[in-house]
Structure 1
């Protein structure tokens, strides 16, 4: 069993429904969802290009998948989630857009948003005491030879290379898309997600996902709301 702390909107939120349909799977229920063909990208190609994010479910990584450290229980983790959410307030990313991270497409902030960076860093640090150290095999899976020195250090210290200054919030929509298909994919995603782009996205919760066994689809275990936003904007205790 592995756990992960992600952001995802509510199960019935229009963005969640749209993204789950796009990926072909609902991470809250585990249900496989029917998808439509697109004139220029057929069902089979979309299915192949969304295979990896489909397993994880629609989310943005805050604390990457981890096994619990010896002596820590799931109940302890849930209690810590409650405490964290009580001490951190809802805030909003001012604008999200469909963007690319290398060959991958994702919903990303239009510009770097410092409160989001601070929030993600707080999640990484607060829940670190629950994380078992990575095995040598886990580290090898991250291809550390392809990482920069700081990212390699992050991987060893925090279990994930993309934390703190290397963190970039992204809600993954595809696996790697071949360069010759990138333009048509961009157009399709811009159209599909236009109701949600270039507008604010509320970061109002923290969601615990679980991977029942290695390689199994991740599924939502529980979602906890952050505290209501204070009148003066983002705050954390």
Structure 2
């Protein structure tokens, strides 16, 4: 029996899908899911949901929208298998079965996180002093997603490769791009739930302070890493939407 956790009724798999992605996303209704949706101004699981105007950390909706345009399109998530076009000869049914099997190999766990900078943007990131060494569990889960789902990935176009290279890649990142189609996987993977676009240096401190103020009610509440989430992009440039969750089902060791 497939362990697929049904998405909200309003979200259906589109008749045509341009790209798929496998993310971690907090469960609907959880504190992180609610605050993340309100901060970004969009619930990726319920695209038609109207979020009441709200000020968070002293920032109103319009100000936050200007800081999160790209992050809003992708929805609240942490990337595990970066967006990919389906390879020739593969089907959603096969991907569904692979995700069910993958989720069954990993046990759920909790992960303390904090709002912090990552390069020039803001995100929820693991708390370095968590004390339980979540890194190995995260790395194992992310690496399994990248490797076991790779047969479903169509090789990126030359234009896509050039777009990735335009940011400037190290030799190690270039090797990862060529092998896996994305430069920030495997040993270059850094778990994070994006909460802003790239910000100018003079913006970072003020927006970080506002985000941390907004996140104060979540102090001490960890993320529950309990499922893989499948997101889809119906056509190039469309908003990514969540369509299915696969429960992590292995017994804890």
TM-score (norm 2): 0.85
TM-aligned CA deviation for residue 124 of structure 1: 0.7
- Residue number among 9, 20, 25 corresponding to 1:8 in the alignment: 25
TM-aligned CA deviation for residue 179 of structure 1: 1.9
TM-score (norm 1): 0.91
Change (3 A) 1:70 1:192: same
Write out per-residue CA displacement over residues 137-156 of structure 1, whole angstroms, 9 at most, x where no aligned residue: 11112135600011011111
Distance (whole Å) between structure 2 residues aligned to residue 46 and residue 98 of structure 1: 15
Equivalences for 1:148-163 in 2 at 5 Å? 148-163=170-185
Q: Which residue of 2 aligns with 1:106?
A: 123
- Residue number among 146, 150, 157 corresponding to 1:135 in the alignment: 157
| Helix, strand or coil at the partner of 1:146 | coil
Change (3 A) 1:144 1:152: farther
Change (3 A) 1:156 1:44: same
Runs (5+) with no aligned partner, structure 1: 233-237
Change (3 A) 1:13 1:107: same
Equivalences for 1:1-237 in 2 at 5 Å? 1-31=18-48, 32-37=50-55, 41-93=59-111, 95-111=112-128, 113-144=135-166, 146-227=168-249, 229-230=251-252, 232=253
Change (3 A) 1:39 1:145: closer
Count of aligned positions: 230
TM-aligned CA deviation for residue 195 of structure 1: 3.1
User: How large is the Cα RMSD of the aligned pairs?
Assistant: 1.8
TM-aligned CA deviation for residue 35 of structure 1: 3.4
TM-aligned CA deviation for residue 54 of structure 1: 0.4
Runs (5+) with no aligned partner, structure 2: 1-17, 129-133
